[in-house]
Amino acid sequence: MKTQSSSQKAISFAVGITPGEVIDAYGVGKVVASGNPRFEKDDLVVGVITWGEYSVVKEGTILNKLDSMGFPETYHLGVLGFSGLSAYGGFFELCKPKKGEKVFVSAASGSVGNLVGQFAKLFGCYVVGCAGSKQKVELLKEKLGFDDAFNYKEETDLKSALKRYFPDGIDIYFDNVGAEMQEAAVANMNAFGRVAVCGVMSEYTDAGKRAAPDMLDVVYKRITIRGFLAADFMNVFADFISTTSDHLRSGNMQAVEYITPGLENIPSAFIGLFRGDNIGKTIVKIAEE
């Protein structure tokens, strides 16, 4: 949606939107008419649709029949969708965790962050998350099993705050916000630390915020900083679904959702992401199942 960004040339997902065009979204829908033999009327599908009551889906678009596997449809947009795949792939495939390692997650109550923390705890890591309200911090510690969590808005010095929570340093930082939080995490990282950059929430709408980690730390601590997209991990999608659905059925993982009703509320729900209104996966429900 930016007027201009070099990222818009990086991959087809990121091409700039022209005002007046439909806006893509990942969603669940029901087929009302089909000219494709893979789909029949009344099939439930999940994939790339658009902001609207009806979507015309062209050949080649990511769209599949929905096998609910006994879970609510909404789970296939969040915990069993691209949010979950981002968390699973970013943590296990990029960060290559070892049991007992120290993991820091920013925007830890968001759609991806809360899942990263849960995967890390189940794997056997020590996990601390940050979030922007007392309610979110309590959720992380009391419901989602984080070892600790803090409200970054109450901290005047992020480097000192992370030193308090990680006296022995950070091994893995799962970055959802960028800017000064990334700088503080890098300053507290151990040798051979790994940073998975999933998003830069604080930078999307504030041109003045840009991460500038101390590159001497990156060199001498031999830190890896790597960006990624969920689509990079389609090769492990089956493993992700199997592992995550087992955790959900056993009660070891929780799905956290923030559902807003009404097509007319899509823009406000979207803007709310940048204000931190949501806890977990933001979903807009535009029709009854």
Do 9 and 109 lie in a common domain? no
If one counts the domains in the chain, the total is: 2
Is residue 87 located within the same domain as residue 48? Answer: no
pLDDT digits (tens, 9 = 90+) for 199-230: 999 999 888 899 999 999 999 999 999 999 99
Tokens of 26: 């990942």
H-run or E-run covering 52: none
Question: Are 122 and 220 in a shared domain?
Answer: yes
SS3 226: strand
Tell me if 56 is assigned to some domain: yes
Beta-bridge mates of residue 227 = 197
pTM for the complete prediction? 0.96
Domain of 58, in residue numbers: 2-75+256-285
Q: Are residues 94 and 214 in the same domain?
A: yes
Same domain, 184 and 203: yes
Same domain flag for 59 and 90: no
Query: What is the rounded CA–CA span in Å between residue 204 and residue 249?
Result: 36
Question: In whole angstroms, what is the distance from residue 36 CA to residue 92 CA?
Answer: 36
Tens digit of each residue's pLDDT (9 = 90 or more) over 47-66: 999 999 999 999 989 999 99
Within a domain: 62 = yes
pLDDT per residue over 149-202, tens digit each? 999 999 999 999 999 999 999 999 999 999 999 999 999 999 999 999 999 999
Is 89 found in the same domain as 117?
Answer: yes
Residue 162 belongs to domain with CATH number: 3.40.50.720
Supply the CATH number for residue 46's domain.
Answer: 3.90.180.10
Q: How far apart are CA 152 and CA 206, in angstroms?
A: 18
- Interacting residues of 179 by C-beta distance below 8 A, sequence separation 6+: 200, 202, 203, 209, 210, 211
Distance in angstroms between the alpha carbons of the first and the last residue of the chain:
30
Query: Structure tokens of 275?
Result: 């204000």
Predicted confidence at residue 23, as pLDDT, reads 92
- For residue 230, which amino acid is it? A
DSSP 81: S
Whether residue 140 lies inside any domain: the answer is yes
What percent of the chain stands above pLDDT 90?
92
